[in-house]
Chain A
Amino acid sequence: MNAAFDFVPVWTLILGAGIFFYVLLDGFDLGVGMLYGLAPDVSARNIIMNSIAPVWDGNETWLVLGGVGLLAAFPLAFAIIIPALYFPILVMLLALVFRGVAFEFRFRDAPHRTFWDHGFCYGSAIATFAQGVMRGAFIQGFEVEGRHFAGSTLDFLTPFSLLTGVALLFGYGLLGAGWLILKTEGEIQEAARRHGRICLAGVLIAIAVVSIWTPLATQAVAQRWFSWPNIAFFSPVPIATAIAAYGVWRALNGRSEAGTFIGGVILFALSYVGMAISLWPMIVPYRYTLWEAASSESTQAFLLVGTLFLLPVIFFYTAWSYWVFRGKVRADVGYH
C-alpha cells in the first residue's frame, strides 16, 4: 500500500490523550479512594465516596480504551509491553476489582462494611502503586527478541520502578485531594488541603528524583535533554513545573477551591510531556518506534473515522453527566 496519509502521528496523539485522560480521571478517583482511608468517620466516608460514585466507572473506561487502543493502533507494542508487565497488571486488575465492587457492596452488605472499606482504600492504593511501577518499568525499557518480550516476568521489579510506584501514590493523592476540595466543604475540605500539601511535597520530590535519575541511567535520554539546542527548547518544561507547583501550594493554603485540582492536572501534563520528550519516538522503549509498531494503514484509517466522530460525542455526554452532579456533595444523602 502506498502511504497517502501518515496516520501514526494522529494515533499517537489520540492514544497519548486517551491515556492522559485515564491518568487524570481515574487518578483523582483512585486518589480519593486512598484519602478515604484517612477519613475520620462514617459520614465523612459516605461523602467522600459519593463524590465519585456517579463517575468512577466512566473514568475506568479510559483504561479499557487505552489498552484496546494500544492493541489496535500499535499491536506490536501491546504484544511486548503487556506480557512484560504481567504481574503489575495482574495486581492492578485484582485491586481494581476490589475497589470497584466496594462502591455497591459497602453500602448493601452492612455486616462486612469494614472489609469493603478496606477493600476500597487498599484496592485504590495498590492499583495506583502498580500503575506507577508499570510506568517506571516502561521508562527503563524491556528485553526484546524479534517481536517478543524475552525477559523474565520479574524484570519490572527495580528500585526505579518502586520509586515511580511510590511517586504515583503521591500524584494520585494530590489529584484526589484537589477533587475533594472541589466537591466538599468544611472539615473534609480542610483535611483534603492538609493531605494535599503532603502529597504535593511527595510529588515534587519524586519529580526531581525521576528527572535526575532517568538521564543518569539512560544515555539516550540525557542526550535528548541536554544537547544543544534541545536544552533551550525543553527548558520551559521544568520551569513551568516549578511555577505550577508554586500555584498548587498557594491554592492549597489559600481559599481557592479549583486551584489544587487544576494545578495538579498541569503538573501531570508537564510530567507526561517530559516523559514523551525523553522517549520519542519509541513506543517500546529503546527498541521499536511508533512507526515500526503501528498496525496497518487500513486498521488505523478504519478506527480513525469512527473515533473522530465518537470522541466529541463522548466528551459531550460525559460532560453532561458531570454537570448533572455538579456542586458540593451534600451530607444528608448517601449512596443508595
Chain B
Amino acid sequence: MELDPVLLSRLQFAWVIAWHILLPAFTVGLASYIAVLEGLHLFTKREIYLRVSMFWIRIFSVSFGMGVVSGIVMPFQFGTNWSRFSDAAGDIIGPLLAYEGLTAFFLESAFLGVLLFGRRLVPPWAHFIAALMVALGTLFSSFWILAANSWMQTPAGYQIVDGRFVPTAWLDVIFNPSFPYRLAHTVVGFYVTTGFVVAGVAAWLLRNGRFFSEARIMLSMTLWLLSVLVPLQIVLGDEHGLNTLEHQPAKLAAIEARWETARNVPLTLFAIPDETNETNRLELNVPHLGSLILTHSFDGEIKGLKEWKAEDRPPVAIPFFAFRIMVGIGVLMLLFVAASWWLRIRDTLFDSPWFLRACLIMAPLGFVAVLAGWTTTEVGRQPWTIYGLLRTADSVPLALTGGDVLVSLIGYLAVYLVMFPAGIFVMAKLVQKGPAPGPEADSPIESGRPAGPTQIQLHSEGDAP
C-alpha cells in the first residue's frame, strides 16, 4: 500500500492539535478563575478563597505544563509537515504566531513561576498581579492564534504575488471576517468548559461529604457564571453560523448535509450522508426550521454541495455529525443551567442528589464540545488550508514520504499516550485530595532570602471570618 504523506500529515496534525487544544480549553478559563479567587482573597481577606485558589493552582500547574510542552510541538508542525503552506503564507501567518509568543507566552511563563512558587517571596498584591498576568496571557494567546486560524478560513488583507500571500492591510488580516465570531465563540467555549469541570469537581466533593464550604463556593460561583455564559454561547454560535453561511457556504452545506440549493429548507436532525450518491439516507427532518435557524428567515436560501465540483467539497459526514454533537451538548448545558436556576430558587442547589450527579456527568462534556466544534470548522475548511486558495494537498513538503510521516505519527501517538493519561491521573489525584492544606499544599521553591509579608495560616474546614 502506498502511504499518503498528505493524509498521514493531516492525521498527525489532528492528533497533536486535538490533545493540545484540551489544555487551553481548560487553562484559559482556569487562569481567569484563579485570578478572580486571588483577587477576592486579596480584597476580602477571607481565607476560603485562598484555599480554593491554591487547590486549583495545583491542578493548573499540571495542565499548564502539559499545555506548554504540547504547544511547543505545534509551530514546528507548520515546518516539518506543512512547509509549502509556510512558504506561501509565512508573510502573514508568521507575524501572528510571533506576536502570540511575544505578547502571551513570555507573559504567562514569567508570571507563572511567581504564581506557583512565589507566594512567600513577593507581597500579596504582586502575587495577585502575577495571577492576573497569567490570565491575561492566556487571552492574548487565544487572540493571536485564532486570528491566524481565522485568516486561513476567511483570508483578507492580502495579495498574491508569484503564488505567495503578501500582506496589504494588517488590520484586515487580523480582523478578517470570521475572526471576531470565532474568537468570541472559542473563548466563551473555553470558559464554559472550565466552568463545567469546576462544577463537577465541586459536586464530587459535596457527594463525598468533604470540604463543604469550599465546594459550595466553587459550585455557586460557577453556576452564576454558566448562567450567563451558556445562553451567551448559544447566541454567539448562531452568529458564527451566519458568518459561515456568508463566507464559507460549502462548509455550511456540509455541516447541514444539503446537496441541493433550496429555499425554505428543513432542519435535518439526523441523517447518514452518502457522498458517493450525493444524497442522505435515513433523514429525520423538521420542516422550515433549517432556513429559519441558518438564515433567520423562512425562505432563506441555503446553497447545496452540488454547487461545487466534487474536488472542491469538504467531507460531509464528519462536519455533519461533529456539529450535531456540539449543538447537542449545548442544548444539554442550557437545560442544566435552567435546572440550576430552579434549584436555587428552591434553595436546594447543594443537596439535590440528582443535580450533583448531573454535574459529574456534565463535567467532561465541554471538552467534547470543543473538540467537536474544532473538528467541524477544520474539516469543514477542507480541501483547503487557506480557504479557496491553497489546497491541503499542495501544502506538504515535496521531499516528505509517507514512511517519514508514519514514523513521526507513531512517535507522537506513543509519547502522547503516555503523557496525557499520566497527566489526567496526576490531576485526578489532586482532585481527590481536595482543597486540603498540607505539607504539599503550597510550599514554594524558596531561593535566597524569603522576603515579603505573608500570612498563610490555613484551616481545613469552615470559613474564617
Contact = CB atoms under 8 A, between A and B. Distances in A.
Interface string B407-436: 110011001100100110110011000000
A6 interface: no
B113 A58 contact: yes
B408 A79 contact: no
A110 B70 CA distance: 23
Contacts of A65: 98, 101-102, 105
Contacts of B399: 83-84, 148-153
B118 A75 contact: no
B422 A299 contact: no
A83 B113 contact: no
B97 to A, nearest CB: 4
A101 B94 contact: no
Contacts of B443: 333-334, 336
Given A78-B86, A82-B80, A317 B426 contact: no
A31 interface: no
A53 B445 CA distance: 8
B68 A325 contact: no
B98 A68 contact: yes
A183 B448 CA distance: 9
A324 B118 contact: yes
Interface residues of A, number: 78
Contact of A299 (B83, B92, B113): B92
Contact of A101 (B69, B93, B99, B102): B69
Interface in A47-73: 50, 53-55, 57-58, 60-61, 63-65, 67-69, 71-73
A104 B65 contact: yes
Interface string A111-122: 010000000000
Nearest to B404: A153
A215 interface: no
Contacts of A306: 99, 102-103
A98 interface: yes
Interface string B47-88: 000000000000001101110111111011011110110110
A147 B447 CA distance: 50
Contact of A63 (B72, B166, B442): B72
B65 A330 contact: no
A279 interface: no
Interface in A145-181: 147-153
Contact of A79 (B66, B84, B112): B84
A53 B170 CA distance: 38
Contacts of A103: 65
A303 B429 CA distance: 43
A101 to B, nearest CB: 5
A325 B448 CA distance: 7
B101 A298 contact: no
Interface in B332-359: none
Contacts of B105: 61, 64-65
B109 A64 contact: no
A117 to B, nearest CB: 14
A206 interface: no
Given A79-B86, A90-B408, A71 B93 contact: yes
Contact of B80 (A83, A97, A151, A307): A83
Interface in B382-401: 397-401
B392 to A, nearest CB: 16
B283 interface: no
Given A108-B62, A310-B103, A324 B412 contact: no
A67 B76 contact: yes
A79 B79 contact: yes
A87 B62 CA distance: 28
Nearest to A50: B445
A23 interface: no
Nearest to A90: B408
B397 A325 contact: no
B98 A324 contact: no
Nearest to B439: A336
A75 B65 CA distance: 29
Given A75-B86, A325-B121, A330-B446, A109 B415 contact: no
B169 to A, nearest CB: 9
A325 B445 CA distance: 8
B111 interface: yes
A251 B117 CA distance: 31
B419 A90 contact: no
B426 A86 contact: no
Given A86-B408, A153-B400, A329 B86 contact: no
A288 to B, nearest CB: 12
B398 A97 contact: no
A295 interface: yes
A70 to B, nearest CB: 8
B90 A75 contact: yes
Interface in B93-132: 93-95, 97-103, 105-107, 109-114, 116-118, 121-122
Given A93-B72, A104-B426, A64 B121 contact: no
A295 B73 CA distance: 23
B445 A335 contact: yes
6 contacts: A67-B79, A69-B94, A90-B80, A94-B415, A306-B99, A324-B121
Interface of A: 50, 53-55, 57-58, 60-61, 63-65, 67-69, 71-73, 75-76, 78-87, 89-90, 93-94, 96-98, 100-101, 103-105, 108-109, 112, 147-153, 183, 295-296, 298-299, 302-303, 306-307, 310-311, 314, 317-318, 320-321, 324-330, 333-336
Given A54-B118, A336-B440, 17 more contacts: A54-B117, A68-B75, A71-B93, A82-B80, A83-B79, A87-B407, A89-B79, A90-B407, A104-B62, A104-B65, A105-B426, A321-B111, A321-B113, A324-B114, A327-B448, A333-B444, A333-B445
Q: Closest 4 CB pairs between A and B?
A: A327-B448, A75-B90, A82-B79, A72-B94
